[in-house]
Structure 1
């Protein structure tokens, strides 16, 4: 959740040529040497800016080429000349970095191509994401709006601190969890972006089903431990949070959930009241 390893850029020039050339060799658009140079400058600048918006990413030298660069993304779709790029990007992660659980089925333009057509097929501007996150994010431009924007999964440096927290309450025998950003552990700018991301993507509305599924997977272990000791439940939850952090990220939603549950005496003393009785073997 939150961040991804940047994509390989080894084939960007070849990808551009394939997108702009039909399979019969006919050009859709033939950029001049000056335009190719301008595109490469935009790509390098995007990296230097960490994917953040800048007027220099839309140079006048590409005004004529921009419409063709914009539509080049059509070739990234299934059956297009860059379908292999799509497959490579979607297979680079098991889950959507925006929510941390959705299956990556879409490629989100971090800087929207309706504004930055030059970057429509640039790998580090294409974030593998689930459909719900992609639809909820839409054409948000950081620093322009709406809101402060989302963090960039490829370029955002996250502090070595626990900033994702969970508030746990119980209602009618069920667990209610609300995630929030702890503003005291990170900078105000980063906290504002992360909180906006939680709200924009409606994650607290989407997490309950995932939480129920995840806790159901842990149920038998938790109930067995409770038979031995209440303290053992809390200790296991904390250790599990550490293990999950190694596999995912220290601010993954599952990690925050385990940390929060370990601090709730009612849950540690009587988990069966919230997880249900242990299932008997058939």
Structure 2
């Protein structure tokens, strides 16, 4: 959950340039829709980030399905154009999924799903780096039943700085457990906060973050077992020091470390009460 840099305009291919890479029946089909597609793409750019309210322009199901397959059938020349566009992003933006801040080496895929919106199947601005897990959870959902946007659009959303991901530690009888949630932030509007919460739920980020954090908490307990209290306190505090170069502050690990550092004495008390420290 973070904003990423927009593509270098010099490396963003026009839709007509992508279509020029095709030949045969595919080229004929695309040429027949190119004018309408270009108009739709212009409207897309004007609407970002709230492109979810757009309605598909292809009504015929068979035509829509055929056009949506152009992404898989794109020639190598078109693939190279999109690869160069992705490579124009800073390394940190193209190497870590901006939807979850968990998975490395995300692939380009469609923000608005190509099956519903084939007019944007080959449109550069509709392509975002996304990991396979997030893409699977995202599916084809664009808006809620109330018509609200469900998923963040990383190149355009989250212009505000700050930490809106919060967590707490549950002190169980035999283990520490984490709980993550999205909280209000002074710089977030109610509109963006709502999108964040829907994004967080749709991509199952609470479960995914908690799995990572719980494993880290278990490792922490195993590591300090048998240590003297003061040694354990110093080591945990040192491990939790903030990283001034943190790429993704709204991710499970920096939020976990910040919380442990703030709640260090309750953690030490829990370890001591269970005779895990000497």
Matched residue, 2:183: 182
Matched residue, 2:207: 205
Correspondence 1:56-95 to 2 at 5 A = 58=56, 69-76=67-74, 82-84=78-80, 87=83, 89=86, 93-95=94-96
Correspondence 1:119-198 to 2 at 5 A = 119-142=120-143, 148-185=149-186, 186-198=188-200
Q: Deviations over 1:40-84 (max 9, x none)?
A: 333333222114337777558x999866542211135xx855443
CA distance in 2, matches of 1:43, 1:120: 11
Describe the shift of the 1:184–1:41 C-alpha distance in structure 2 as closer, same or farther (beyond 3 A).
same
Q: How many correspondences in the alignment?
A: 265
Matched residue, 2:116: 115
CA distance in 1, matches of 2:125, 2:171: 42
SS of equivalent residue, structure 1 residue 73: coil
Following superposition, the deviation at residue 118 of structure 1 comes to: 0.9
CA distance in 1, matches of 2:163, 2:18: 39
CA distance in 2, matches of 1:150, 1:30: 29
CA distance in 2, matches of 1:14, 1:84: 12
Correspondence 1:246-265 to 2 at 5 A = 246-264=245-263, 265=265
CA distance in 2, matches of 1:95, 1:214: 20
Residue range with higher mean Cα deviation, 259-268 or 213-222 = 213-222
Following superposition, the deviation at residue 229 of structure 1 comes to: 7.7
SS of equivalent residue, structure 1 residue 266: helix
Describe the shift of the 1:129–1:37 C-alpha distance in structure 2 as closer, same or farther (beyond 3 A).
same
Residue range with higher mean Cα deviation, 225-234 or 40-49 = 225-234
Matched residue, 2:17: 14
Using CA pairs below 8 Å that are at least 6 residues apart, which structure has the higher relative contact order? Answer: 2
CA distance in 2, matches of 1:157, 1:270: 37
TM-score with structure 2 setting the length:
0.73
SS of equivalent residue, structure 2 residue 23: coil
Correspondence 1:36-51 to 2 at 5 A = 36-51=34-49
Contact 1:148/1:193, CA 8 A, preserved across alignment: yes
CA distance in 2, matches of 1:17, 1:226: 68
CA distance in 1, matches of 2:201, 2:54: 30
CA distance in 2, matches of 1:266, 1:218: 14
Gaps of 5+ in 2: none
Contact 2:107/2:131, CA 8 A, preserved across alignment: yes
SS of equivalent residue, structure 1 residue 93: helix
Following superposition, the deviation at residue 148 of structure 1 comes to: 3.7
Gaps of 5+ in 1: 278-282
Residue range with higher mean Cα deviation, 213-222 or 257-266 = 213-222
Contact 1:8/1:123, CA 8 A, preserved across alignment: no
Following superposition, the deviation at residue 259 of structure 1 comes to: 1.5
Contact 2:164/2:183, CA 8 A, preserved across alignment: yes
CA distance in 2, matches of 1:272, 1:17: 69
Contact 2:50/2:149, CA 8 A, preserved across alignment: no
Following superposition, the deviation at residue 267 of structure 1 comes to: 2.2
Describe the shift of the 1:146–1:221 C-alpha distance in structure 2 as closer, same or farther (beyond 3 A).
farther
CA distance in 1, matches of 2:65, 2:217: 49
Contact 1:31/1:65, CA 8 A, preserved across alignment: no
